[in-house]
Amino acid sequence: MTSAAISVPMPSIPRKRRTREEVEAAAPVAAPKKVLLAAPRGYCAGVDRAVIAVEKALEHYGPPVYVRKQIVHNVHVVTSLEEKGAIFVEENDEVPEGALVIFSAHGVSPAVVQSAEDRGLRTIDATCPLVTKVHREAVRFAKDDYDILLIGHEGHEEVEGTAGEAPEHIQIVNGPHEVDQVTVRDPNKVIWLSQTTLSVDETMETVRLLRQKFPTLQDPPSDDICYATTNRQVAIKKVAPQADLVIVVGSANSSNSVRLVEVALEYGAKRSERVDYANQVDEAWFEGVATVGVTSGASVPEVLVQDVLRLLADYGYGDVQEVVTAEEDLLFSLPKELRATLKAAGDSSRALGGRGNRPLS
């Protein structure tokens, strides 16, 4: 059996850049140069927990450790774990029978869990606890025979996992433009849930339109959009009106990173760009730019942001002012399957995952 590992693009070879003087000559900057660095940014507790889970599994079980899908949506993180011995696959049938497979932070459906059992795979479930909460809501309301309107991006791994909990009860609504197409059995027995990494504003607009159509539409018991997604959007909303350019560090398949680019533009940034690495920043973006906003998605290690800040400093943006809109101290215990192994080995070095708890590397 051959394993079809996920292909992860490597960072491009740095090209020859124009100098700071050449950029400034092309379009002089009238005001003092500065960086507005959004906070919170970067790793959330669920991402940190999932990455630690793979690292600890490699440490205690030895490579290879298989991971279904990307553990989190970040090119750098996935590549780094591959170098340590992780093998990323699309489906369980690519994992040798009896081997260890880790489910990603985005969650999986019951069918995926069952297929792992059928193949005799050992599993570690690294699903973010906040995604698990949405799964439980789906199960609960399906049991009560509700029609569940799941607001999210069809095809995203998190949405596939949640929808798989109750496929006969769940309709996926991709956004406000699909509300007119929604039909339900009983308009008085409808609830909405959502993917955890959506734009807060767009989700609320979708809910508003759904409620116009179904006035008794029920809200989820608690917010489904996770604290980290909300906090990062709030921070960039404060930065964006002052920014000539916003740089979002994050991968193209990271929903929350892509949303940050969109939110920055919606809230007044003159330009907003996403990069995986500092070497993808185009110095032409700096022409005529006085203020650069910088943030990163919830699956981005801080080292990548620091690389961007160093590049910005080379072009005269050495004045970095942090814009703080919230403090995060949430921690999650590692997956229970892994905790037992760590306890038996006497390893208490990293029992929790959470913001501010990891080295900048």
Supply the DSSP string of 238-291, one letter for each residue.
HHGGG-SEEEEE--TT-HHHHHHHHHHHHTT-S-EEEESSGGG--GGGGTT--E
Please give the pLDDT value at position 353: 67
Please give the pLDDT value at position 351: 65
Write the pLDDT tens digit of every residue in 7-46: 444 455 556 899 999 999 999 998 999 999 999 999 999 9
Q: Which residues are catalytic?
A: 158
Radius of gyration of the chain (CA): 22
Please give the pLDDT value at position 352: 64
Please give the pLDDT value at position 16: 83
CB 260 within 8 A of CB 286: no
Please give the pLDDT value at position 361: 39
Please give the pLDDT value at position 354: 61
Please give the pLDDT value at position 147: 98
Cα–Cα nearest to 113, from 91, 138, 84:
91
* CA–CA dist 265, 112 (Å, integer): 38
For the chain, residues with pLDDT lower than 50 are: 1-10, 356-361
